[in-house]
Structure 1
Amino acid sequence: MIATAASSGVDVGSLWHLASIAASPVEVGFARPRQAAVTLVTFGMLSVLVAGTAALTYRWYFRDEIPEGVTLLLGVSVVALYLNTTSLGAIAAGDSPALLEPESVFFNVVSLGVAAFTAPAGRYVGDRLAVDVFALSGASQLEGELTGIVRAVGRFTSVTLPPAEEINDMDTYDPVSPEKKAEMAKKTLLFSRKLSGEELRERLVERVKSDYGVGYVDVDITEDGAVEYFGVGSRAAGLGPTLAPGSAAVSVAADPPNNATAGDMVQVWRTEPELERVATGELRGVAGDAATVALDESDAEALVEEESYRLVTLPAEPQADREFASLLRTADETMAAITVTAGSALAGSTVGDVPIVVAAVRPENGSVQPIPTGAYTFGAGDLVYLVGRPDALRQFEAGAAGESDRNDVEAESPDGDEPRAGGRADGGTQRS
């Protein structure tokens, strides 16, 4: 029994001794250069592994690049955690680690420095790996550059939006906020490689509109996904853009009919001191006893703020012009008035030569000619009213200002799509 107990005591002591050795701190200093180098390389690799794993996970979950400070903190923390854990293990085993000796302090500081230095490399490698892996798996949106190998073997065409300072504001449209431009800047969107050039452009416009909430997108893009021009605009809001010249919208205290809705033609009647018709306009909105009416400016001046009015709904009348304006407001097409300059590529060409809708032409010394025939020849000083997509208007504008060859303006692309402009004129253009 005594021998057995003694034997058991030796075994327990041996196990305790081995445990204390395993839990002992890193007793490596620069007095032993080879061991110190191996330890520092190990710490660096550990920092790279942790930072790279964090970057890959962050990209997978948030579809964005992990902040640099986070990976730096993780890379340093994992080394510091290991050093602290081994030191506490030695203390628990009854040893007295030399934590405050200058050699140990210096080695620990260098170890943390190595971890801080190598963590950004792990962040970069992990993020690039995540972008490439998600691209090959068919992700529809990425925020990072793809490697050449992935671009070559991928089943998609990648389109990278330009930096914020290169995103243009579309003429006559409300500008997009700088925050919105920064949000979409340098984003990489993925599309099927089977799309033609025009289909790729249409898909890109739809994606930018839906993903970033912009109203209008004007883009020139090649078939391989290179963006040559990119402009955005906010969709016009409020009543102002829908009011005709010489009209105004006025809010009055009134008693509208129960079934009156926006768009109804109404008469505005004064009830005191005697019943009198003041104006006729279009009802735009009703909120309780307040009604907003669009009417001529001269009629708006006759309304008095202190008075209350009664509205009478008129029979419905066809208003094709307002319906057209309403439809055009929500479409990608817009209107523009462009002046043809002397010596430009368009001077001498005809309406039938340009792939865009010409609504009217006002010669320099003549009256307006609505819907001219295809044989009408543009002359210097002609003011041309157009309806079309912003990129087609830019092309016509460049030709009217002499900034491109006539062949570039008249020729269509091989697949029948509208050609694109190579430049933008600075003057002689009005858009709505």
Structure 2
Amino acid sequence: MTQAVELLGRVVANAVTVAGLSLLSGLLATLLGVVHRWYARATVPAGLSVLVGLTAVVLVLNVESALGTLITGATNGSSPGTVFDTGVIVVNTTVLAASAVAAAAGGRLGDQLGESTFALTGSGAVDVDVSAVVQAVGRVITVDLPEEIGDIEGYDPVAPGVKETLAGETLVFPRRLTVDELRDRVAARLRTDYGVGRVDVDVEADGTVAYLAVGSRESGIGPTLPPESCAVAVRADPAHAASAGDLVQVYRTGADGPERVALAELRGTAGDVATLAVDTADADALAAEERYRLATLPVEPRSDREFASLLRAADETMGVVTLAEGSDLVGTPVGAVDAAVVAVRGHGGLEPIPSRSRVLAAGDDLYVIAAPSRLRRLDAAAGASDSD
């Protein structure tokens, strides 16, 4: 009878040990899941949860074993001189197995708690606004494009059939995207899958497209020509090594010798035909049926040409915005404008690269570089306020 009671006591004690250490492992893994979701905004790896949970359990077992040896001279009740105790081995193995299962379950539970908690509060580490995540129902985000699609001002329209193809089209994206990420994904999909050059799109918090306008890619020589200039094709004899971008002097053969006609920039050659970029005033002096001679000049910095080339390749474009009387931007500094202001034309004339502290006034023309969507918002802000 005494042995039965002692055996029952050992079984109960071992069961309590297994349950207690498994609970400890699960709690630590749950806490890890919550912290990992808060910090990394991702599910904690199952291996990491099990490692943390088992580490705590092993530490407790080692401390218990060390104290038992110190107090009784034996390990977990084993007699002196005994190397292995089958009962202790079985209990410890059961503890480790149960703790591993509890840790894996605790990691998943902590991740779910963290996801639901931080999604409601919008809090999170590394300054991430979790509340900006698109509010989608289901495992994916479906975006329906509007039936009416506009044209981006300053860009050539797309091919006639492109808008018809895009109207009402449904695009599918993965979940857990912020509004800004979804907007970028939509624009990238339209450019790659439908050959659209420029995209101006506004996306709401629920994934609805509030505004969509498209434009074609700028092509040809026109977008790279400076103001008050044009391109002219003439019959000429450029130097053998001449290439686009070289400055040349254009001469014709006159009765009294070579006569200089214009200063131009060589844009391309095809046989004995050269395409020149010249001032509009000099274009009339060049005749298509006449043959000219070109003298290549030393290289000079051409900041206007470099600027035009960079702007052509960038997603941004340049626009001019006029501030109306009563605009919200009147009285604010240039630094408050949500775009790169490269020049301001006011009552005192043109001011390139204005100071960020310069105060804007009604009637000022702002030369800004920004994406089409930002230009559209800036143009709306430059108008008179509705309250006026």
Q: What TM-score do you get using the length of structure 1 for normalisation?
A: 0.55
Task: Give how far 1:302 is off.
Answer: 2.0
Identify which of structures 1 and 2 has the higher relative contact order when contacts are C-alpha pairs closer than 8 Å and 6+ apart: 2
| Residue type of the alignment partner of 2:280 | E
Task: Tell me how far apart the structure 1 counterparts of residues 308 and 289 of structure 2 sit (CA, whole Å).
Answer: 34
Is 1:326 paired with 2:309?
yes
Give the match for residue 275 of structure 1.
258
The correspondence of residues 25-424 of structure 1 with structure 2, limited to 5 A, is 152-154=137-139, 156-163=140-147, 166-273=148-255, 274-363=257-346, 365-403=347-385
Q: Offset at 1:362?
A: 1.9
CA contact (8 A) 2:326 2:385 kept: no
CA displacement at 1:162 relative to structure 2: 1.1
**Alpha-carbon displacement from aligned partner over 1:321-377 (angstroms, at most 9, x marks no partner):** 2111111122121111111111222122222222211112222x3222222222222
1:231 Cα deviation (Å)?
Answer: 0.3
Question: Secondary structure in 2 aligned to 1:318?
Answer: coil
**Tell me, what secondary structure is at the counterpart of 1:241?**
helix
In 2, Cα distance between equivalents of 1:361 and 1:272: 46
Amino acid aligned to 1:176: V
- What is the distance in 1 between the residues matched to 2:296 and 2:159? 41
| Cα offset, 1:272, TM superposition | 5.0
What is the deviation of 1:404? 6.9
Contact preservation (8 Å) 1:261, 1:283:
yes
Looking at structure 2, the residues matched to 373 and 272 of structure 1 have their Cα atoms a distance apart, in angstroms, of: 52
Q: Distance between the aligned counterparts of 1:248 and 1:227, measured in 2?
A: 40
Q: Which residue pairs with 1:116 in the alignment?
A: none
Q: How many residues matched?
A: 252
Deviation at 1:217, TM superposition (A): 0.6
1:170-213 per-position Cα deviation (integer Å, ceiling 9, x unaligned)? 11211223311001121111222232222221121111111111
1:236 positional shift: 2.5
User: 1:206, 1:161 → 2: CA distance?
Assistant: 14
Q: Which consecutive residues of structure 1, in runs of 5 or more, have no partner in the other structure?
A: 1-150, 406-432
Distance 1:160 1:186 in 2: 6
Q: Would the aligned equivalents of 2:344 and 2:365 in 1 still touch at CA under 8 Å?
A: yes
Q: Identical aligned pairs, as a percentage?
A: 52
Give, as a single letter, the amino acid of the residue that structure 2 aligns with 1:219.
V
Distance in 2 (alpha carbons) for counterparts of 1:171 and 1:395: 13
Amino acid at match of 1:373: S
Q: Give the deviation of 1:169 after TM superposition.
A: 0.8
Whole-angstrom CA distance in 1 between matches of 2:373 and 2:288 = 46
Shift of 1:223: 3.8
Conserved? CA contact 1:157–1:224, under 8 Å: no
Q: What letter corresponds to residue 352 of structure 2 in structure 1? A: P
Separation (CA, whole Å) in 1 of partners of 2:328 and 2:200: 23
Root-mean-square deviation (Å): 2.1
- Whole-angstrom distance in 1 between the partners of 2:204 and 2:190: 17
Q: Distance in 2 between matches of 1:276 and 1:377?
A: 51
Whether the aligned pair in 2 keeps the contact of 1:398 and 1:404 (CA below 8 Å) is no
